[in-house]
């Protein structure tokens, strides 16, 4: 007896020591790391380890008086508890988050409570909590929690057999996971969509998702998910009447789920019974159905397919003339059917009223607003296009008008040069009409300042005459300084003489000589007209075509291109 007591004490001491070591190790982690570690243990069905982490998380949060993390601790710790205890933790969650600001609560509290009721087959209360959560999420415009509420309500639609409606929601969030950041939740959506596809007999689509799930990294880390996909593979094979393959897969999943007391074990039993019925092995089918009924009595968690199970058992024992068992399963059928009928009736009435109808009204409102917005965008686009069209027409009209003016000026210049040539006159400036120009040195227009001696001015004028007659202005790189050096004077006297006697500054004087020259040469010289504009510019002393075009336009009021084109038209 003493040895037994000693062994028990030794075991308890070892357990306490091991637990203390784990807690000491956890002190190094922050909340995010603890949460991640909890998820790893929970997904791999390590209940005791995940419990220790959840308890440590809650104690740490309470010690630090961090209400938001205390709330998270209550959520973590409730996952591994039975229904009454778990519900108490969710009630504590509701109290601690009462004064927390933001969109997370109370929406999350109602979602958690709804999930808890759903897990333990209290579907009426599950729906009520999901509807409340959805309303809070919409009021806060929290898209992530709206998504979670919609997904949970889709689980209820799935339960009711509204597989097409449920599949629409699951498919939307599976392939547009903007608001689903939780990998476990994403995996569960895929699992639920697989179930819908199998029930809708879309087995190819279901099998694609099964393979996708089996190869995902998340499934590799979770034995639970591995067995979920194995179950649906077996269920799919059952639907395809591949009974032997299905049995092999379903037995494995039953062993796993029953080892952790998970409700999926009951679905595996149901499917195994269906497989053996398909093989006409009624005894084996009954064996699994009887085991299923035994589990249902323990948990009181039902599902619609149970009606089929009990009618099968009743018919089987009727054939065997076993009145006692026939009566027993009739009684079980009536009891389960009553609960299923109550839940089904409530859900089928309240879901459309509380969820489908408001959703349709909201969808209608969104469509109306969308149509209004489209009209506004359409009218704005038409208005914008009209403005653009008017602007283009205005610019086109202005460009045409400018082009006509430029051509007219070009024609007048050509006519003037031809007239002068016909009269054999050598004075270019007298024959070419002077265009109004703005002097760059306004002071020379009103007063003539004279500082250079008269003989110097005459000398400079004689030098400028030579400069013009010999067409030295066509050389590239001429500056005031280089011209002054060539004439043998200084820049001040030269600038003063050009301003006073030519009525313009040096730059205008040089440009006018070059442009007057090119105007006449273009009329006379056909070969010169065939040159490209850069070559013409270089020929008359400009460094680039832009400088030439600017000087030409300033002097004449038209462009070199239009001038050349008009010469060609006339000749």
The SS3 of residue 507 is helix
Q: Are 194 and 206 in contact (CB under 8 A)?
A: yes
Rounded CA separation 24/28 (Å): 8
> Which residue in the block uniquely carries the two structure tokens 């610019």?
395
The per-residue pLDDT for 340 is 74
Q: Reduced to 3 DSSP states, what percent helix, strand and coil does the chain have, rounded to the nearest 5? A: 80, 0, 20
Q: Is the link from the previous residue into 106 a cis peptide, with omega within 30 of 0?
A: yes
Rounded CA separation 101/569 (Å): 83
For the stretch 303-351, pLDDT in tens is 888 888 888 888 888 888 988 888 888 888 888 888 877 776 666 665 5
> Which residue in the block uniquely carries the two structure tokens 């009447």?
241
Q: Which residues of the chain have pLDDT under 70?
A: 1-25, 43, 45, 179-181, 217, 344-368, 371, 423-450, 571
pTM for the full model? 0.53
Instruction: Report how far apart, in Å, the C-alpha atoms of 435 and of each of 99, 233, 409, 446, 559 are.
Output: 84, 93, 10, 19, 14
| Dihedral Cα 250, 254, 257, 262, nearest 10 deg | 100
The per-residue pLDDT for 368 is 65
* Average model confidence (pLDDT) across the chain: 80
The per-residue pLDDT for 280 is 93
**What would the two tokens of residue 335 be?**
């009891």
Phi-psi category of residue 321: left, alpha or beta, with phi > 0 → left and psi -120 to 50 → alpha:
left
**What would the two tokens of residue 186 be?**
């994403």
Rounded CA separation 386/392 (Å): 10
For the stretch 217-254, pLDDT in tens is 677 778 888 898 999 999 999 999 999 999 999 999 99
- Percent of the chain clearing pLDDT 70 (strictly above): 84
The per-residue pLDDT for 440 is 44
The per-residue pLDDT for 431 is 41
**What would the two tokens of residue 68 be?**
């938001």
Residues in Cβ contact with 343 at an 8 Å cutoff, skipping those fewer than 6 apart: 121, 123, 124, 302
């Amino acid at each position: 007896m003493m040895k037994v007591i000693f062994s028990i004490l030794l075991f308890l001491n070892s357990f306490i020591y091991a637990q203390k070591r784990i807690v000491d190790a956890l002190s190094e982690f922050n909340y995010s790391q603890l949460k991640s570690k909890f998820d790893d243990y929970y997904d791999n069905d390590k209940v005791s380890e995940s419990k220790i982490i959840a308890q440590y998380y809650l104690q740490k949060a309470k010690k630090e008086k961090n209400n938001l993390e205390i709330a998270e601790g209550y959520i973590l710790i409730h996952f591994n508890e039975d229904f009454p205890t778990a519900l108490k933790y969710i009630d504590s969650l509701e109290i601690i988050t009462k004064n927390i600001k933001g969109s997370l609560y109370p929406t999350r509290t109602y979602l958690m409570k709804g999930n808890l009721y759903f897990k333990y087959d209290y579907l009426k209360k599950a729906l009520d909590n999901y509807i409340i959560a959805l309303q809070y999420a919409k009021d806060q415009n929290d898209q992530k929690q709206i998504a979670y509420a919609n997904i949970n309500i889709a689980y209820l639609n799935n339960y009711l057999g509204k597989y097409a409606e449920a599949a629409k929601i699951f498919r939307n969030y599976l392939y547009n996971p903007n608001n689903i950041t939780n990998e476990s939740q994403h995996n569960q959506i895929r699992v639920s969509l697989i179930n819908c596809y199998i029930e809708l007999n879309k087995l190819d689509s279901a099998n694609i998702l099964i393979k996708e799930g089996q190869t995902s990294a998340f499934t590799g880390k979770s034995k639970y998910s591995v067995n979920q996909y194995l179950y649906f593979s077996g269920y799919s094979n059952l639907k395809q009447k591949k009974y032997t393959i299905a049995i092999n897969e379903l037995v494995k999943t039953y062993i796993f789920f029953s080892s952790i007391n998970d409700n999926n074990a009951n679905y595996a039993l149901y499917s195994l019974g269906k497989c053996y019925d398909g093989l006409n092995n009624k005894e084996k089918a009954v064996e699994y159905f009887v085991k299923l009924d035994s589990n249902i009595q323990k948990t009181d968690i039902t599902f619609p397919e149970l009606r089929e199970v009990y009618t099968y058992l009743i018919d089987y024992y009727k054939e065997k003339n076993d009145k006692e068992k026939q009566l027993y399963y009739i009684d079980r059928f009536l009891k389960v059917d009553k609960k299923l009928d109550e839940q089904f009736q409530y859900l089928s009435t309240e879901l459309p009223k509380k969820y489908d109808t408001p959703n349709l009204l909201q969808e209608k409102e969104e469509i109306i607003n969308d149509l209004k917005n489209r009209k506004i965008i359409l009218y704005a686009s038409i208005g914008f296009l009209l403005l653009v069209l008017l602007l283009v027409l205005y610019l086109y009209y202005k460009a045409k008008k400018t082009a006509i003016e430029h051509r007219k000026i070009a024609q007048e210049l050509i006519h003037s040069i031809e007239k002068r040539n016909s009269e054999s006159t050598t004075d270019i400036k007298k024959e070419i009409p002077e265009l109004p120009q703005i002097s760059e040195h306004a002071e020379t227009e009103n007063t003539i300042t004279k500082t250079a001696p008269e003989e110097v001015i005459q000398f400079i004028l004689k030098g400028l005459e030579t400069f013009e007659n010999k067409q030295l202005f066509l050389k590239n790189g001429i500056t005031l300084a280089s011209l002054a050096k060539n004439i043998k004077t200084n820049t001040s006297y030269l600038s003063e003489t050009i301003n006073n006697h030519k009525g313009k500054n040096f730059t205008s004087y040089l440009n006018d000589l070059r442009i007057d020259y090119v105007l006449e040469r273009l009329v006379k010289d056909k070969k010169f007209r065939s040159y490209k504009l850069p070559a013409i510019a270089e020929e008359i002393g400009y460094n680039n075509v832009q400088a030439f075009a600017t000087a030409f336009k300033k002097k004449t009021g038209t462009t070199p291109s239009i001038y050349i084109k008009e010469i060609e038209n006339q000749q």
